[in-house]
Structure formats: C-alpha cells, structure tokens
C-alpha cells in the first residue's frame, strides 16, 4: 500500500510528477485542482462556486474542498493507495484528512515536498500560460497564488515534518531528473 501526498508551490511540477508516480505505483492520482477545473468546464454548481476563488488565485473554501476529497477517498480504487496532489493545502484540511483516513481505516506513508524558488516557478507558469491558456496563469494571479501558498500551505509541511513523513525533493532540472529523485526518496 502506498499512500502519498505531493506538495509544492504552483509551478513546481506537481501535476506532471504526480501522473508519473501514480502510474509507477499503480495508484489513483487525485488532483483537487483538476477536479475543480473539470467541474468548471462542465458548468456544475461546484464548478461555479470554485471558479469564483480560482480566478482570483484564492483557495476554494475548506468546506467545499473537504467534502469533495472525502467522497473521492471513499471510492474503492483508493484501497491499494492513492496520491493526493494539491490537498491538503491548509491546516484545517490536514485535520480533515486525518479524520477521513481514520474513518476509512487508511494511513499516510509519505509527503513528498517539491521545492522551487519563486522566480523559477513564475517563469514556468507564464510559459505555461502562453501555451495552455489556463485561466489562473496570469502574472497578477500567479503572484497571489504564490503568496497564498507561502501563508497557508508552507506551514503544513512543518506539521508533517514533525510526524517524520516529509521527503524533500529539488524541483529544478528535467522532468526525468526530478522523477528519479522522487522515486529515490520513496525507496523505489
Ligand atoms: P497550482 O498548484 O498550480 O496552483 P492546482 O491545479 O493544484 O494548481 O489548483 C488550482 C486552484 O484550485 C488553486 O489555486 C485553488 O484555487 C484551487 N484548489 C486546488 N486545491 C485546493 C485545496 N486543497 N483547497 C483549496 N483550493 C484548492
């Protein structure tokens, strides 16, 4: 059983690495950002609610995000393990995830933290904006997303560090190099 969290600033390459790691371990890749974007595209009520926050670089309220993750982790494909990408992102989400896992008889094996400095991630996100046109990849919104990450999400790394779960990985370099580092820290 492999149950992982992937954490890191916007633009650190979480999504790309999450797909590779999930495929390697044969576990579902659960990206809250992707679930929100799919809902926006389909015009669901959840999507309309999420869009109001995402377009400004703010986090979607915990109540909305927590309920969505609880449902997703109740699906049987997560029984052999899972990779959470983009969740938890706030201290209350850490508490909620603890409760969800306790209720479902699951546990966490590791938290992989991908590091990258602000100048590098801003450049990557602007490049992605030019290619993919993601709505929240404008310079103004990117700056806000980085501020929110530092204020809300960096503190949760300390919580998981205290539990001895954090494996830090340098996010600079090619996709293959970063992937090899992650596999190495996971003992793969
Ligand atoms: P990135 O990490 O590159 O900013 P994501 O695709 O992970 O992109 O998330 C995009 C947006 O979705 C976030 O900026 C936020 O508005 C929303 N979001 C994703 N996950 C969460 C979460 N756990 N809690 C609150 N909002 C979230």
Residue-wise pLDDT tens digits, 88-146: 999 999 999 999 999 999 999 999 999 998 898 999 999 988 899 888 989 899 999 99
pLDDT at 1: 66
The chain-wide mean pLDDT, for the chain, equals: 95
How many domains are there within the chain?
1
3-state DSSP percent of the chain in helix, strand and coil, to 5: 60, 15, 25
Ligand 1 atom with minimal separation from the 69 CA = 23
**Active site residue: 128, 144, 167, 168, which one?**
128
Question: What is the 180 CA–ligand 1 centroid distance (Å)?
Answer: 25
How much is the average pLDDT of 174-178?
Answer: 96
Residue indicated by tokens 């995402």: 54
Which domain CATH number covers 82? 3.40.50.300
Residues touching ligand 1 (Cβ under 6 Å) are 10, 32-33, 36, 53-54, 57, 59-60, 65, 86-87, 89, 93, 136, 145
Mean pLDDT of 65-82: 96
Q: How far is the C-alpha of 159 from the C-alpha of 156, rounded, in Å?
A: 5
| Structural domain boundaries, residue 66 | 2-185
Known catalytic residue: 107? no
Lookup: tokens for 138: 């404008």
Percentage of the chain modeled with pLDDT above 90: 89
pLDDT for 4-22, tens place per residue?
A: 999 999 989 999 999 999 9
> What is the per-residue pLDDT across 149-173, written as a single tens digit (0 to 9) for each?
999 999 999 999 999 999 999 999 9
Atom of ligand 1 nearest to the CA of 36: 12
Cα 64 from Cα 162, distance rounded (Å):
27
């Amino acid at each position: 059983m492999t149950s992982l969290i992937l954490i890191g600033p916007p633009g650190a390459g979480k999504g790309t690495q999450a797909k590779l790691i999930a495929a390697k371990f044969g576990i579902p890749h659960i990206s809250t950002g992707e679930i929100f974007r799919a809902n926006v595209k389909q015009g669901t009520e959840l999507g309309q609610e999420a869009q109001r926050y995402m377009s400004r670089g703010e986090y979607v309220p915990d109540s909305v995000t927590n309920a969505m993750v609880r449902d997703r982790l109740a699906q049987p494909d997560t029984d052999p393990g899972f990779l959470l990408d983009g969740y938890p992102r706030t201290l209350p989400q850490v508490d909620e995830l603890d409760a969800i896992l306790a209720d479902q008889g699951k546990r966490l094996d590791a938290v992989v933290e991908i590091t990258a400095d602000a100048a590098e991630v801003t450049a990557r996100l602007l490049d992605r904006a030019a290619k993919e046109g993601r709505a929240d990849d404008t310079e103004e919104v990117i700056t806000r997303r980085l501020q929110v990450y530092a204020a809300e999400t960096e503190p949760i790394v300390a919580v998981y560090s205290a539990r001895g779960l954090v494996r830090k990985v340098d996010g600079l370099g090619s996709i293959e190099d970063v992937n090899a580092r992650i596999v190495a820290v996971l003992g793969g």
